[in-house]
Structure 1
Amino acid sequence: MDTIVSSLVISFVIWVCIYVLISNTRSRKSAARLPPGPYSFPIIGNLHQLGKKPHQSFAKLSRTYGPLMSLKLGSKTTILVSSATVAREVLQKYDRMFSSRAIPTAAQALDHHKFSLVWLPPSSQWRNMRKMCKENIFATQRLDTSQGLRQEKLQELRDYLHRSSVSRKAVNVGDAAFTTSLNLISRTLFSKDFANYDSDSSQKLKEIVWGVMKTAGAPNLSDYFPVLQMIDPQGIMRDSKFYFQKLFDISDDIINERLQVRGTSEAKKNDLLEALLDHSIKNEFEFGRNDLKHLLLDLFVGGTETTSVTVEWAMAELLRNPDKIAKARAELKEVIGQKEVVQESDISRLPYLQAVIKETFRLHPAGPLLAPHKANDDVEINGYIVPKNTQVLVNVWASGRDPATWSDPEIFEPERFLDSEIDVRGQHFELIPFGAGRRICPGLPLAYRMVHLMLAAFIHNIDWKLEEGMKPEDLDMDEKFGLSVHKALPLEAIPVKL
């Protein structure tokens, strides 16, 4: 029996090797015109150079091979873009040619890629869904109507920070930001809370959401060697199905509960689920319940994880730079006064707060490689060929630290944006944390409001004290990689009410 198993394993390995070698042979014809890159070994290619933080490894390699670089990741050719100039070529000049997605295996769990706004190709289904989201979810009028729901959640954050200051209890800033983000998005979507600051409920949901982000962003052998998808050697597809199903179960419960009260005497909810259900009923064949569940998964994960991660990084940088947090706090006091509430209409009157957020996006983009693009045809860029069906990764982490674009790129300096027209809406390729072109993140309008309001709540009328004996410069700023990048060591500090 052992001999049979050994023979099967050896046969399988030989099969994989032959498959990869044939793939490599087919690609050599166009390799001469591929962008430059490091030598790739047989079978594994450049997989050994990924490291635990691929965005940093890619940035280091780009300093040798240039801002347009090719790598062989297993059997897959991947093109890396690491500068604003080349990103403009890919996401603006040749936007249509790079508008498809290279879909990771994890995103295919429970057929999510067939319904997801993130992973669908630019088809009529995708265009209809994007239009529906723009009109029913992210339109300015719709967001203005629902801002009262978000203000309630921000007040709860302020109350929690006040209680912690009275008890001198250290706050895990990332957890508090996630709980707030979770309730901000759940209130906007569903008119209900998902978590409390003093319970384990938010931690459980955080583990589910982080599980989704980790499985989607983890280096997966099945992506590099598609022949391995059937055996799922790392269990990533298994884990992805588990986390997706957890979120689908939550969505099913909420949808069923809402459908039961629709048409009764209970007042109609003024939230995004109600708008989506109305749209689904009117456009049943275009947007059914399954589409709704997959869209809610996209909105739920994207709306909680990236916002809370950005706020934690912003707070970490501000606590490392006491003069910067003092400036941000002084601006809030001057513009808002002593009142607790910062309204969404106040954001435009807070240029330094906006600069802090931009600088955080520059140094710590939540999605350092964006969602992967795919070439729809052979495309020539800077004299090199990007072959059809090649995966293209835009390393916004690298372009945000490019010394050709930014002076002192490793320094947290919000002032660089005070006299600058650069913003994050996809027109200035030096700073595209939400992407650009037709595949720019549709949730940008909501995320923009949430991240500014939440950071303001953390610093307005509040000072922060680090653990006993810790100096600001001692704060650990190491990263933990997934589809989003977390602080490896959670930020904890004691709020002091001013």
Structure 2
Amino acid sequence: MEPTTFFYTFLLTTFLIYIAHLLIRKKRTPPLPPGPIGLPLVGSLPFLDPSLHKYFADLSKKYGPIFSLQLGSKLAVVISSSSLARAVLQEHDNTFANRDVPETGRVFSYGGNDIVWTPNGPTWHMLRRICVHEMLSPQSLDAVSSIRQQETRSTMRHIHASSGNKVDIGAEMFLNVMNVVTNTMWGGTFEGDKERESVGKDFKEVVANIIDLLGRPNVSDFFPVLAPFDLQGIQSKMAVLRDRVDSIFERMIEKKSYDEGKRTKDLLGFMLRMEREGGDSKTPFTMSHVKALLMDMFTGGTNTTATTIEWAMAELLNKPDILKKLQGELDQIVGKDKLVDESHLLELHFLSLVIKETLRLHPPLPLLIPHYPSSPCTIGGYLIPEGTRVFINVWAIQRDPSNWADPLEFKPERYLQQGLQRDFGGKDFDYFPFGSGRRICAGIAMAERMVGYLLATIVHSFDWKLPEGKDVDLSQKFSFVMKKAIPLVAIPTPRLSKNELYN
């Protein structure tokens, strides 16, 4: 066949397949959700906006709170209303309890062996039990409170040494959280502060790149048949990053000594003992699980916490009256002659409102982690076929004017109104920044403590102002984790009564 004839035959075949697809779509009972038709083969891929959460929010205004779009060979459905989010995450939680694993996620999690991507089942339940009961239970968090205090005091000293100079708030918070996580993961296995600081710097760069790759559009995810070819090289880049982290894991695992007859005090020691014993009676626990869970703790527990504090500080600097009110509460509860302690958090009610409002406007994962129905399901009168990639646009839901008055305004006091008391438990489907259902974030308790303690400390210990001629920038950069488009840089001034408190 001549090349020209082959080309026209290919175009005609593609067009006929496309028309057949449209006819089948219209005849489905119940029908698929409405949405843009897209182009043959690629669907709506060429029209995607880099700010995917905003792009989806705009499409929902045209097509409704549930719509579908073809992304390559994958069908995607986007949910943008609280009632439909409830239907997916509560009423049909079991059906939507799996994940559509991106190729980069599969690479960085050692084959999808972590708590995020593992399918709902015995292995996932085992992994969640390890996280919730061995590291993230109230008792476990209390046991390592001294680590959080030590690192927070260290951060405060470092900021104090930079008084009058510019400080990158997000970078400072990241290093703090990273040091807390590493100390909690494997305890005193570092040989002094230099090694811990070195590992922290390595992880900061690697975690930022991992988050970037997880949020980057990958043709392998839209056309799974092409995944082995890695046409964009994204999987290979992720493999390089994973190997860098893996070398640190290997170093810590090799150095970790543990007594088989005793229960170890840090998570790594516990997991190594569990791996040696082969897991529980029903489910094996392998070294891949050990490393994948460690990877979850670093990527999930560091970037999201540091970013949330950075967003909170940006909103406070944009609303000086709210910042002063928060400092007034801290002065009343803590006083200027003492340092903030975690024990103060229960009394800092306005602080909790500030954090809630920050997470309403800036949920760490604006589209959550896509769900994957294990069987066909009807939502809102529309069919969602098995294997569809389902996005929950929590960013849009938490800014929906039908749910919230003045939805774009930063108003912490709104939660004092009757009927607007909200928490992070995922029970209210106009407010669920950590998700809902069985796949709700396992690290909520730790995030509350870390964000509350760190934010209270830097607001209580310092006054902050922007560099001369700068305004607060609240623009967003869409990624797997929602970041500020421009890092927040501000100048601290000590405000405590005694200089020695900083030392």
- Shift in CA distance, 290/468, structure 1 to aligned 2, threshold 3 Å: same
Paired with 1:310 and 1:17, the residues of 2 have a C-alpha distance of: 46
Counterpart amino acid of residue 272 in structure 1: L
- List gaps (5 residues or longer) in structure 2: 496-503
User: How is 1:256-271 mapped onto 2 (pairs within 5 angstroms)?
Assistant: 256-258=254-256, 261-263=257-259, 270-271=265-266
Counterpart amino acid of residue 238 in structure 2: S
- Per-residue CA deviation, residues 88-111 of structure 1 (Å, 9 max, x unaligned), is 111001100100111111112166
- The two structures, once aligned, show a CA RMSD in angstroms of 2.9
Q: For residue 249 of structure 1, what is the aligned residue in structure 2?
A: 247
- 1:263 deviates by 4.2
CA contact (8 A) 2:105 2:112 kept: no
Q: Secondary structure at the match of 1:52?
A: coil
Q: For residue 459 of structure 1, what is the aligned residue in structure 2?
A: 459
Q: For residue 450 of structure 2, what is the aligned residue in structure 1?
A: 450
The equivalent position to 2:72 in structure 1, one of 71, 74, 81, is: 74
Alignment pair present for 1:275 and 2:270? yes
Paired with 1:14 and 1:231, the residues of 2 have a C-alpha distance of: 24
- 1:300 deviates by 1.1
CA contact (8 A) 1:59 1:82 kept: yes
Q: For residue 3 of structure 1, what is the aligned residue in structure 2?
A: none
Alignment pair present for 1:398 and 2:411? no
Alignment pair present for 1:49 and 2:44? no
Q: Pick which of 130-139 and 385-394 moved more.
A: 130-139
User: How is 1:329-340 mapped onto 2 (pairs within 5 angstroms)?
Assistant: 329-340=327-338
- 1:10 deviates by 8.0
Counterpart amino acid of residue 383 in structure 2: I
- Shift in CA distance, 337/128, structure 1 to aligned 2, threshold 3 Å: same
Q: For residue 299 of structure 2, what is the aligned residue in structure 1?
A: 301
CA contact (8 A) 1:150 1:187 kept: no
User: How is 1:187-206 mapped onto 2 (pairs within 5 angstroms)?
Assistant: 187-191=183-187, 202-206=200-204
Alignment pair present for 1:479 and 2:451? no
User: How is 1:356-395 mapped onto 2 (pairs within 5 angstroms)?
Assistant: 356-395=354-393
Counterpart amino acid of residue 277 in structure 1: L
- 1:134 deviates by 1.8
Q: For residue 310 of structure 2, what is the aligned residue in structure 1?
A: 312
Q: For residue 124 of structure 2, what is the aligned residue in structure 1?
A: 126
The equivalent position to 2:136 in structure 1, one of 116, 135, 138, is: 138
- List gaps (5 residues or longer) in structure 1: 1-5
Q: Pick which of 330-339 and 139-148 moved more.
A: 330-339
Q: Secondary structure at the match of 2:70?
A: strand
Q: For residue 184 of structure 1, what is the aligned residue in structure 2?
A: 180
Q: Pick which of 198-207 and 46-55 moved more.
A: 198-207
- Per-residue CA deviation, residues 447-472 of structure 1 (Å, 9 max, x unaligned), is 121111111122013101211123xx
Q: For residue 173 of structure 1, what is the aligned residue in structure 2?
A: 169
Counterpart amino acid of residue 435 in structure 1: G
Q: For residue 422 of structure 1, what is the aligned residue in structure 2?
A: 422
Q: Pick which of 42-51 and 322-331 moved more.
A: 42-51
User: How is 1:321-360 mapped onto 2 (pairs within 5 angstroms)?
Assistant: 321-360=319-358
Alignment pair present for 1:228 and 2:226? yes
Paired with 2:459 and 2:169, the residues of 1 have a C-alpha distance of: 12
- Shift in CA distance, 201/134, structure 1 to aligned 2, threshold 3 Å: closer
Q: TM-score, normalised by structure 1?
A: 0.90
- 1:262 deviates by 2.7
Paired with 2:449 and 2:387, the residues of 1 have a C-alpha distance of: 36
- 1:232 deviates by 1.5
Paired with 2:259 and 2:112, the residues of 1 have a C-alpha distance of: 32
- Per-residue CA deviation, residues 330-370 of structure 1 (Å, 9 max, x unaligned), is 11111112254333332221111111111111111111111
- 1:251 deviates by 1.1
Paired with 1:54 and 1:79, the residues of 2 have a C-alpha distance of: 13
Paired with 1:208 and 1:242, the residues of 2 have a C-alpha distance of: 10
- Per-residue CA deviation, residues 175-224 of structure 1 (Å, 9 max, x unaligned), is 11111111121122122579889978645422210111111111111111
CA contact (8 A) 2:110 2:291 kept: no
Counterpart amino acid of residue 437 in structure 2: G
Q: For residue 159 of structure 2, what is the aligned residue in structure 1?
A: 161
Q: For residue 500 of structure 2, what is the aligned residue in structure 1?
A: none
- Shift in CA distance, 105/15, structure 1 to aligned 2, threshold 3 Å: farther
- Shift in CA distance, 201/263, structure 1 to aligned 2, threshold 3 Å: closer
- 1:124 deviates by 0.9
Q: For residue 469 of structure 1, what is the aligned residue in structure 2?
A: 469
CA contact (8 A) 1:21 1:43 kept: yes
Q: Secondary structure at the match of 2:351?
A: helix
Counterpart amino acid of residue 179 in structure 1: L
Q: For residue 100 of structure 2, what is the aligned residue in structure 1?
A: 102
Paired with 1:328 and 1:460, the residues of 2 have a C-alpha distance of: 8
- 1:155 deviates by 0.5
- Shift in CA distance, 22/205, structure 1 to aligned 2, threshold 3 Å: farther
Q: Pick which of 389-398 and 60-69 moved more.
A: 60-69
Q: How many residues align?
A: 482
Q: For residue 499 of structure 2, what is the aligned residue in structure 1?
A: none
- 1:113 deviates by 4.1
- Shift in CA distance, 169/42, structure 1 to aligned 2, threshold 3 Å: same
- 1:256 deviates by 0.9
